[in-house]
Structure 1
Amino acid sequence: MTHYFKTIILLSLACLTAGSTFGEDEETPLAKEMSAMNAAYRSLSKAFRSGPNPDQRAEYISQVEVILEHARASVELVPALANTLAPEQKTSMRADYTAAMQKSIHTLEQLLAALEAEDYAAAADHLVQL
């Protein structure tokens, strides 16, 4: 099973590392979005590892909404590493990144719908797909 969200996070972290390697100290807009997504994702993932609690449904929905907000904001951003690549590689990397983000957004929307329907089994399945 493909884990798009984790792949996106890893790609973004690689971009952050590449930026610091080249002497860039500023956090990129994409890095800020990924950091915000990662914090909410970790919290949600941790909650589901111990078994979802129906009393926490509103909090789960809130976390997914945060992840979705930042995922949608980051889909049009370009990973910093792309700026170091040849034009054809940059185009390919951006296309791969955009496709992975769009798949993640779709999965997040399904996760949100499952939580709103109180279908925790489906929500757990969607969370695993991320």
Structure 2
Amino acid sequence: MSTAAHDALIDLMIVAATSDSAITEKELVRISALVDRLPVFEGFDRKRLEDVANACADRLNQIGLDAVVDAAIDALPVKLQDTAYAVAVEVTAVDLYLEQEELRFLELLRDKLTLDRLTTAAIEVAARARHRKLPVAS
């Protein structure tokens, strides 16, 4: 896969993490873990992660959210649009509570991708299931 596609996926994860205006340690750890373990990131130079993330943050400040998201989607092959949505959801779901800003970002991303509503709903439900914890015994 191309460097541009890897960078685009990372950009979408960074935008998802910053959509509520504060990137948390849990979100950073999740992004790092996804890059380390997902097959789509095979061949990605792990040493570039911080630089790619910082460049994304700079572009967010310079050109804004819509432009960064549009550029990321344009850099992705169509067959990776479900993957792009899945990694964005994975990052926002890490704390099992989505702020309104995160929900709005996911809605914006859904609207920009060519995915059907059933696919996006399945991705969202699967992410919630993966992040669920057992209740603490009283």
Quick check: TM above 0.5? no
Larger-Rg structure: 1
TM-score of the pair, normalised by structure 1: 0.31
